[in-house]
Structure 1
Amino acid sequence: MRRRALLGGVVLAALVALAALAAYLTRDGREPTTHATPNASPVADAPSPNGSSASGSAAPTVHGHGLPAPPVTHDPVAFGKAAATALWAYDTRAYSQPELVTALRGWLTSETKYADPASVDAVVPSPALWKEMAANGQFATAKVAEGHFPDAFARALQTDPGAITQAYVYAVTVSGKQSIAWKGSPAGGAESRVTTLAVQCRPSQSCALVGVMPSVAP
C-alpha cells in the first residue's frame, strides 16, 4: 500500500496531465482489475485497435524452455513492445505456470517501491486454468503491430520534459495480435490485443517493467 502511494505521489506531482497513469500508481485497496487471460477454447478474430505510428522494437530474449527474458534497451516504447510480446505469449507444453510467473517477474524494475508484480501475475492464467490448457497442449504466440506513448502522456512530456526525471516512469500503449493453438487444432484462432504498460527507463540503466495498467490509455 505504502509503495503504491509513494509512487503515486511522485508521478502525480510530476505528470499531473496523465490522470490514468497517476490513478494506476496511486491505487491502494481497490479491487484488482481483471486482465485478459488466455482461454482454454478457440477464440475468434477481433478488429485491431487503431494506433499511431510504430516505434523501434526489441524482441524478448528466449531462455531455457522458451521462457522470455527482457531485452537491453533504453527506449521505453521498444521495451513496452517486447514486454507485451512476453505477456501475450505462452507455451503450456514447455514450462509450468510458476516458471512463467517467475520469468515475467524478472522483467520488473528492481526498485521495489515502484514495481507492481500483482498486475503482471494477473495476466498469467491461474494454476487451475493452466492445468486445463496444458492437458490440451495449448500455446500462444504474439505479434506486436505498434507501440506509442498515450496522447495525454505525450502532451505532458511536451509541456514539461523535465517532469518525469524523478521516477522515469513512462506509459506505453501496445497493440497487436495473439494467436492460440492446441492439440488437434494447429491453426487455432487469433484475437487482437491492446494494453498499456508502465515502463521505467532511467538514463543510467536499461528499461524495466513497472506493471500492467488496469485500463488502456489511447
Structure 2
Amino acid sequence: MGKRSRPRGSGLTSHWSTGRRIAFLAAVLAVLLAGAGLAAYLSAGGGRGSAPSGKPSTSGPTAHPGTSAPTSGKATGTGTVSPPPRLTDPLAYGRAAAVMLWSYDTRATTRDQQLAGMHAWMTTETKYTDWTSIQAQVPDPLLWSRMHDQAQYATATVTEARFPSAFKQALAEDPAALTEAYIYAVTVTGKQSMAWKDGGGGAEDRSVTLAVQCRPSADCALVAIAPNTAP
C-alpha cells in the first residue's frame, strides 16, 4: 500500500439509491425539498459526496450493506473517535460531524472502534437513518490494517458550514415541510491533514453534505451523507 492511502468520500452513489431505509430517507428529503428546490437538490452531484480530486488512492472504502450497528468483536470502546456533542444548532452539529468523519487515528483506534464511535453520532430514529452512507467512509479491514502499519492518522478543520441554496429556497416556499422529521441539509467545507511514520504527510480540501436531524428541545444527530446540492 502507498503511504497516502486514506478514507475518502466517494463510492456512495449506488448505496444512496438502494435499500428500503435509504429510499425512505430520500423520500423524507424530497418532502423537505418539495417544489422548485427538489429537482436541483436531488440531481446535483449525482447523489454522492464530494471526493478529493487529483490524488489517486490505492484502495477505496468497502461499504457494507444494511443499517445495523457495528459489531465490536474483540475491540471495546470508541478509541480516539470524539463523542457526539450536545448541540441544537444543525450548522454547528454539521461542523462537528464533518470533523469527526474526516479524522481518524489508526495508531490507537481499531476499525471496529472507529465504526462504533461514528455510530454514536447517528439518530436513533431508524426509519430515517442511513448508516450505510456513513460507514462507507471507513476503509475495509485490510486497508485499515495497512494504514495501521504505517501509523497513519488524520486531523480536520472546518472553514464553512451552510444550508445549500436549494434547501433554503424549498424551506422559504414551504416552511411547514420541515416539521415532520426536522432533517436539515448542511454542506460543510474544510481541510483534512494526514500524517504517517517516517515524517510522511499531506493535506487536501474536503466537502460533504450531511443530513442532520435537530428536533425541537432535543440534541441534534447525524442522519446520513446526503446528495450534493447546488451552492
Asked if these proteins are the same fold (TM beyond 0.5), I'd say: yes
C-alpha change, 1:35 and 1:103, in structure 2 (3 Å) is farther
Gaps of 5+ in 2: 1-18, 59-76
- Superposed, 1:119-198 pairs within 5 Å as 119-185=133-199, 188-198=201-211
Quote how far apart the aligned CAs of 1:20 are.
5.9
TM-score (norm 2): 0.73
1 CA distance for matches of 2:85 and 2:193?
Answer: 22
Partner of 1:89: 103
1 CA distance for matches of 2:227 and 2:33?
Answer: 18
2 CA distance for matches of 1:34 and 1:161?
Answer: 26
1 CA distance for matches of 2:160 and 2:230?
Answer: 14
The CA deviation string for residues 155-212 of structure 1, in whole angstroms up to 9 with x for no partner, is: 11222222110011110000000000000115x1100000100001100311000111
TM-score (norm 1): 0.77
Quote how far apart the aligned CAs of 1:5 are.
3.3
C-alpha change, 1:20 and 1:130, in structure 2 (3 Å) is farther
Q: Tell me whether 1:118 sits opposite 2:132 in the alignment.
A: yes
Amino acid paired to 1:11: L
C-alpha change, 1:9 and 1:191, in structure 2 (3 Å) is closer
Quote how far apart the aligned CAs of 1:34 are.
7.7
2 CA distance for matches of 1:217 and 1:106?
Answer: 29
Amino acid paired to 1:12: A
Counting matched residue pairs gives 190
Quote how far apart the aligned CAs of 1:214 are.
4.3
Amino acid paired to 1:215: N
Partner of 2:223: 210
C-alpha change, 1:167 and 1:214, in structure 2 (3 Å) is same
RMSD, aligned α-carbons: 2.7
Mapped contact 1:36–1:123 kept (Cα < 8 A):
no
Aligned identity (percent) is 49
